[in-house]
Chains A and B, each alone.
Chain A
Amino acid sequence: MKVTFPHLGTMHIFCKAIAETAGIPYIVPPETSRRTLSLGVIHSNECICLPFKIILGNFIEALQMGADTIVMVGSGPPCRLGLYDLVQKVILDDLGMHYRWLTIPPRLTWRAILKNHEETKELRKELSARNILLFPYGLWMGWKKMMACEALERLAMKVRPKEIQKGETQKRLKKALLWVDEAKTPRTLEEAVQRGRIFLQETEQDRSRIPFRIAIIGELYTVMDSYINRGVEQRLGELGVEVTRTSWFSTHILRSLRRGKGNQNAERLRFFEASKRYLAYDVGAECNFSIGEAILRSQEGYDGVVHLMPFACMPETTASGILTKVGKDWDIPILTLILDEQEIEGRIQTLLEAFVEMLQWKKKVA
């Protein structure tokens, strides 16, 4: 048995940690590339959302490398995310690929646990007692690594707009994430995080700069994965913008476990409440949060909002219609970027440059 998982954002780091710690053989799909995307594009159609294509491409590449068991976090209604597995399975069947599929239920209901029990029946025979015993420890390690990655990414968002050498922060972040990835024990992980933090802070910075503040909102995979969004976070940072986002793996995992009454959740609740004057019902996925966050960020004095969505995304299409109005009503510039498989890095760079210049101009006039 060789398990594999999608290569989204920093997901591969903590998924790998779970498998590695529990001693389960695994294959990390190659970093998402043009080839990954092409595989996804050929084997789906033009109006299926981009995350679907990337994940499909990841799976095909991993299966070609010898993986045989796909582990995927499930999702539910109302948007298409909840049926990704139904369609991806039949596509892999059609390609004649051999695989086993394990869906991790998004919500812990009895029905989901029962279905999970059925799916894992065969798999469990292949696991040793040691694997099963170590699994909770693996989960814990995975969680720790996820939090470590997110802490480093957050720090990088703050450092990037002040860096003197463009691209320096990104280089350092990559290295720091590698250290986290390589850590095998809780102690070495702790050390890796500490080392990474210091390493990032040591970036040569112009601390007198007062960067613009922009919030990135939108569909969660598009916000979290730098290949899907063509590095919007990094590009904005390097244009001298301090970026904020509230979509992290931890946010969504805690939310689906209905836990974490901490700050993150309270913040999302505020977004939801704020969206109500434009959208009287929960459309699903991130739609309401996108709208609410744009409103609240304007009140918090942010300079702008960048809204990311895959082409033909159902909930975010509704959001983008309403966001045009929100932008006018609350006097906050909103840039919506619709992403699909086309090579639009150049266009995105130009749009972002123009957006930041517009912010500068706006500040001067005001």
Chain B
Amino acid sequence: MEEEGRIGIPRALMFYRYFPIWHTFFEELGWRVVVSDGPKKGKIIYFEDSCLPMKLLVTHAVHLKGKVDHLFVPRLVSLHRTHIMCPKFRGAPDIVRLATEDSVSIIDETIDLQIRGNSLAQSFSKIGEKLGVPKKESKRAFSKAQQVFPMFQSRWVDRINRLPSRQLFQMDIPTPLSGKETLLRIALIGHPYNLFDIDINKDILALIKSLNLEILTSDSLSEEEIDRQVSGLSKEIYWSSGREIVGSLFHFLSGGVDGVIFLTSFKCGIDALLQEFIKRRLRVRGGTSIPFLVLSFDEHTGREGLITRLEAFRDVMEQQKKRKYLG
């Protein structure tokens, strides 16, 4: 098929969840998807004084300009009927536009499923419209993307455990069938970009795998399970990501794993508030027998300190497991 043009997708923020959908959609329409490599030599562009994930979005976008016909930075307001995304996402396309100084066309379609009558399919056909694609074509491409996504997700845990972090979202690399046996299971909790962006977490996945631990992540739980876990709170948490973090934490801390790590970005408003909530609630409820660690990342986080903490955490997990086994 002849190439229509190039779409640039910054490897940042919700790329780390929805890339399979975006990739399939644009490729089906005959557009070539170009993903940014990331900051060269760790050089981050400081356009605004926000959290690290947001700064990385700007950095990736600036690297892509000039190499692509359009940048894809959707305005993700809400991807659920009643829950919303981080408020910073609402201004993300505008920040990117200012940072790239209008030198590249940006597809910034607003996706807001809170509004009655809006649907994801509709939003995508609007994105197609901007590329001059007939509605029918967009519809076909989107339904293809919708088929691919659950297939991709069903193999997600295997991918995390058996592929190097860089290859997780390379769609042409198949999921390996088997891996080595591990003794301990660890749950990683956080926004998808904190879990999988190696520029944020210094490739914590590789470090954990080298300690011979099996990884589970917060994004593998079903929405029903999350809803069940956060149902009885005195006030509903309205951020999708916040619900996922609190819900999966309660889920994993009630059993099934040997340790839980909560990965946060420094200056993330949602994480800061919920971290306090989680900590206090656990204390009020009499604590947990499962080891729990909070790791906060920013651009100064070093790999060595991380290794030490992870090794110590594994020792705690091992002891705890032995104690349970004996007692």
**Taking beta carbons and an 8 Å cutoff, which residues of A are in contact with B?**
44-49, 52, 76-80, 82-83, 85-87, 89-91, 93-94, 278-285, 287, 312-315, 317-318, 320-322, 324-325, 338
CA distance A44 to B280 in the complex (A): 10
Q: Is B88 an interface residue (CB 8 A)?
A: yes
Q: Is B269 an interface residue (CB 8 A)?
A: yes
Contacts of B233 in A (CB 8 A): 86
Task: Decide: A281 near B110, CB < 8 A? Known: A80-B269, A86-B277.
Answer: yes
Q: Is B302 an interface residue (CB 8 A)?
A: no
Task: Decide: A314 near B88, CB < 8 A? Known: A94-B283, A281-B77, A321-B47.
Answer: yes
The answer to whether B272 touches A94, judged by C-beta atoms less than 8 angstroms apart, is: no
CB B240 to nearest CB in A, in angstroms, measures: 11
Interface size, chain B (Cβ < 8 Å): 40
The answer to whether A87 touches B273, judged by C-beta atoms less than 8 angstroms apart, is: yes
Stretch of B90-98, B171-179, B249-257 that contacts chain A: B90-98
CB A78 to nearest CB in B, in angstroms, measures: 4
Name the residue of chain B whose CB is nearest to the CB of A288: B91
Q: Quick one: which of B152-166 are within 8 Å of A by CB?
A: none
Tally inter-chain residue pairs, CB-CB below 8 A.
121
Name the residue of chain B whose CB is nearest to the CB of A96: B284
In the complex, the 8 A-B pairs of residues with the closest C-beta atoms, listed nearest first: A321-B48, A47-B272, A318-B91, A78-B87, A314-B269, A86-B235, A94-B280, A90-B280
Task: Decide: A86 near B269, CB < 8 A? Known: A94-B280, A281-B91, A325-B98.
Answer: no
The answer to whether B84 touches A77, judged by C-beta atoms less than 8 angstroms apart, is: yes
Contacts of B95 in A (CB 8 A): 318, 321-322
The answer to whether B269 touches A78, judged by C-beta atoms less than 8 angstroms apart, is: no
Query: What mask results when residues 252 to 292 of chain B are scored 1 for a CB within 8 Å of chain A, else 0?
Result: 00000000000000111111111111001101100000000
CB B235 to nearest CB in A, in angstroms, measures: 4
CB A247 to nearest CB in B, in angstroms, measures: 18
Q: Is B2 an interface residue (CB 8 A)?
A: no
The answer to whether B87 touches A281, judged by C-beta atoms less than 8 angstroms apart, is: no
The answer to whether B280 touches A48, judged by C-beta atoms less than 8 angstroms apart, is: no
Task: Decide: A93 near B280, CB < 8 A? Known: A49-B269, A312-B272, A314-B86.
Answer: yes
CA distance A83 to B277 in the complex (A): 10
The answer to whether A91 touches B88, judged by C-beta atoms less than 8 angstroms apart, is: no
CA distance A317 to B238 in the complex (A): 20
Contacts of A93 in B (CB 8 A): 280, 284
Contacts of A77 in B (CB 8 A): 84, 238-239
CB B108 to nearest CB in A, in angstroms, measures: 7
Q: Is B234 an interface residue (CB 8 A)?
A: yes
The answer to whether A312 touches B280, judged by C-beta atoms less than 8 angstroms apart, is: no
Q: Is B237 an interface residue (CB 8 A)?
A: yes
Contacts of A90 in B (CB 8 A): 277, 280-281, 284
The answer to whether A48 touches B94, judged by C-beta atoms less than 8 angstroms apart, is: no
The answer to whether A278 touches B87, judged by C-beta atoms less than 8 angstroms apart, is: no
Interface core residue of B234, B274, B280 (most chain A CB under 10 Å): B280
The answer to whether A86 touches B238, judged by C-beta atoms less than 8 angstroms apart, is: no
Contacts of A80 in B (CB 8 A): 269-270, 273
Q: Is B220 an interface residue (CB 8 A)?
A: no
Which one of B75, B239, B270, B281 contacts A281 once the chains associate, using CB atoms below 8 Å?
B75
The answer to whether A287 touches B276, judged by C-beta atoms less than 8 angstroms apart, is: no
Task: Decide: A318 near B88, CB < 8 A? Known: A45-B275, A48-B276, A94-B284.
Answer: yes
Contacts of B273 in A (CB 8 A): 48, 52, 80, 83, 87
Contacts of A321 in B (CB 8 A): 47-50, 91, 95, 98
Further pairs besides A77-B84, A78-B239, A312-B267: 10, Cβ < 8 Å = A47-B268, A49-B269, A78-B238, A79-B87, A80-B270, A83-B238, A89-B234, A93-B284, A281-B75, A321-B50
CA distance A90 to B284 in the complex (A): 8
CB A219 to nearest CB in B, in angstroms, measures: 12
Contacts of A87 in B (CB 8 A): 273-274, 276-277, 280
The answer to whether B47 touches A284, judged by C-beta atoms less than 8 angstroms apart, is: no
CA distance A24 to B86 in the complex (A): 40
The answer to whether B269 touches A83, judged by C-beta atoms less than 8 angstroms apart, is: no
CA distance A142 to B1 in the complex (A): 71
Contacts of B266 in A (CB 8 A): 47
The answer to whether B49 touches A85, judged by C-beta atoms less than 8 angstroms apart, is: no
The answer to whether A48 touches B90, judged by C-beta atoms less than 8 angstroms apart, is: no
Q: Quick one: which of B228-246 are within 8 Å of A by CB?
A: 233-235, 237-239
The answer to whether A91 touches B98, judged by C-beta atoms less than 8 angstroms apart, is: no
The answer to whether B235 touches A284, judged by C-beta atoms less than 8 angstroms apart, is: no
Contacts of A89 in B (CB 8 A): 234
The answer to whether B49 touches A283, judged by C-beta atoms less than 8 angstroms apart, is: no
CB B179 to nearest CB in A, in angstroms, measures: 37
The answer to whether B280 touches A78, judged by C-beta atoms less than 8 angstroms apart, is: no
The answer to whether A318 touches B50, judged by C-beta atoms less than 8 angstroms apart, is: yes
Contacts of A322 in B (CB 8 A): 91, 94-95, 98
